[in-house]
Chain A
Amino acid sequence: DAKTTQPPSMDCAEGRAANLPCNHSTISGNEYVYWYRQIHSQGPQYIIHGLKNNETNEMASLIITEDRKSSTLILPHATLRDTAVYYCIVRDGGSQGNLIFGKGTKLSVKP
Chain B
Amino acid sequence: DTGVSQNPRHKITKRGQNVTFRCDPISEHNRLYWYRQTLGQGPEFLTYFQNEAQLEKSRLLSDRFSAERPKGSFSTLEIQRTEQGDSAMYLCASSLDRGRYNEQFFGPGTRLTVL
A residues near B, CB below 8 A?
2, 32, 41-46, 49, 85, 87, 91, 93-94, 96-104
Residue in B44, B45, B91, B102 whose CB lies within 8 Å of A44: B91
CB distance B42 to A49 under 8 Å? Answer: no
Residue in A43, A94, A98 whose CB lies within 8 Å of B106: A43
Using A2-B42, A96-B102 as known contacts, list a sample of 14 further A-B pairs with CB atoms less than 8 Å apart, ordered by residue number in A: A42-B109, A43-B93, A43-B108, A44-B104, A45-B106, A49-B101, A49-B103, A85-B42, A91-B101, A93-B100, A96-B31, A98-B45, A98-B56, A99-B45
* Contact flags B81-115 to A (C-beta < 8 A → 1, else 0): 00000000001010001001111111111000000
CB distance A97 to B107 under 8 Å? Answer: no
Given contacts A96-B31, A97-B55, A97-B56, contact A44 B101 (CB under 8 A): no
A-B contact pairs, 27 of them (CB 8 A): A2-B42, A42-B108, A43-B4, A43-B93, A43-B107, A43-B108, A44-B43, A44-B106, A45-B106, A46-B104, A46-B105, A85-B42, A91-B101, A93-B100, A94-B100, A96-B31, A96-B50, A96-B97, A96-B102, A97-B55, A97-B56, A98-B58, A99-B43, A101-B43, A101-B44, A103-B41, A104-B42
B residues near A, CB below 8 A?
4, 31, 33, 35, 40-45, 48, 50, 55-56, 58, 91, 93, 97, 100-109
